[in-house]
Structure 1
Amino acid sequence: MVVELFVGLPAVLQALLGTLFTWGMTAAGAALVFLTKKVPRRLLDSMLGFAAGVMIAASFWSLLAPAIELSARGPLPEWFPPLLGFLAGGVFLRLVDRLLPHLHPGLPMSDAEGIETSWRRSVLLILAITLHNIPEGLAIGVAFGAVAAGIPEASLGAAVALAIGIGLQNFPEGTAVSMPLRREGFSRSRSFFWGQLSAVVEPVAAVVGAAAVVLVQPLLPYALAFAAGAMIFVVAEELIPEAKRGSPDIAAIALMVGFAVMMTLDVALG
Structure 2
Amino acid sequence: MIEFIQQFNPVTQAFFATLFTWGVTAAGAALVFFTRAVDKKLMDSMLGFAAGVMIAASFWSLLAPGIEMADQLGQTPWLTAVIGFMGGGIFMRTIDAFLPHLHPSLSIEKSEGIKTSWQRSTLLVLAITLHNIPEGLAVGVAFGAVAAGLPAASIGGAIALAIGIGIQNFPEGSAVSMPLRREGMSKWKSFLLGQSSGIVEPIAGVAGALFVLKMQNILPYALCFAAGAMIFVVVEELIPESQRSYENIDMVTMATMLGFSVMMILDVSLG
Alignment root-mean-square deviation, CA: 0.8
Q: Distance in 2 between matches of 1:186 and 1:130?
A: 20
Q: Distance in 2 between matches of 1:192 and 1:174?
A: 9
Query: What are the equivalent positions in structure 2 for 1:174-193 lying under 5 Å apart?
Result: 174-193=173-192
Q: Distance in 1 between matches of 2:36 and 2:23?
A: 21
Using the size of structure 2 for normalisation, the TM-score is 0.98
Residue of structure 1 equivalent to 2:254: 253
CA distances 1:177-204 after superposition (whole Å, capped 9, x unpaired) = 1001112221000100111110000000
Q: Distance in 2 between matches of 1:110 and 1:269?
A: 45
Q: Distance in 1 between matches of 2:148 and 2:76?
A: 22
Q: Distance in 2 between matches of 1:191 and 1:144?
A: 32
1:75, CA displacement in angstroms?
4.0
Residue of structure 2 equivalent to 1:48: 47
Q: Distance in 2 between matches of 1:254 and 1:231?
A: 18
1:76, CA displacement in angstroms?
3.5
- Look up the SS of the partner of 1:151 in the other structure: coil
- Look up the SS of the partner of 2:13 in the other structure: helix
- Look up the SS of the partner of 2:103 in the other structure: coil
Residue of structure 2 equivalent to 1:168: 167
Instruction: Tell me whether 1:97 sits opposite 2:66 in the alignment.
Output: no
- Look up the SS of the partner of 2:72 in the other structure: coil
Residue of structure 1 equivalent to 2:117: 118
Whether the aligned pair in 1 keeps the contact of 2:242 and 2:252 (CA below 8 Å) is yes
Amino acid at match of 1:63: L
Q: Distance in 2 between matches of 1:74 and 1:149?
A: 11
1:219, CA displacement in angstroms?
1.0
Residue of structure 2 equivalent to 1:194: 193
Whether the aligned pair in 1 keeps the contact of 2:121 and 2:193 (CA below 8 Å) is no
Residue of structure 2 equivalent to 1:264: 265
1:73, CA displacement in angstroms?
2.6
Whether the aligned pair in 2 keeps the contact of 1:122 and 1:184 (CA below 8 Å) is no
- Look up the SS of the partner of 1:72 in the other structure: helix
CA distances 1:9-57 after superposition (whole Å, capped 9, x unpaired) = 1000000010011011001100000000000000000100000000000
Residue of structure 1 equivalent to 2:61: 62
CA distances 1:65-106 after superposition (whole Å, capped 9, x unpaired) = 011001113344221111100000000000100100000001
Amino acid at match of 1:178: S
1:4, CA displacement in angstroms?
2.7
Gaps of 5+ in 2: none
Gaps of 5+ in 1: none
Residue of structure 2 equivalent to 1:129: 128
Whether the aligned pair in 2 keeps the contact of 1:63 and 1:228 (CA below 8 Å) is yes
Using the size of structure 1 for normalisation, the TM-score is 0.98
Q: Distance in 2 between matches of 1:213 and 1:121?
A: 36
Q: Distance in 2 between matches of 1:64 and 1:162?
A: 12
CA distances 1:188-243 after superposition (whole Å, capped 9, x unpaired) = 00100111110000000000000111111011000000000000000000000000
Amino acid at match of 2:254: I
Amino acid at match of 1:117: T
Whether the aligned pair in 1 keeps the contact of 2:70 and 2:77 (CA below 8 Å) is yes
Amino acid at match of 1:37: R
CA distances 1:119-141 after superposition (whole Å, capped 9, x unpaired) = 01111011000000000000000
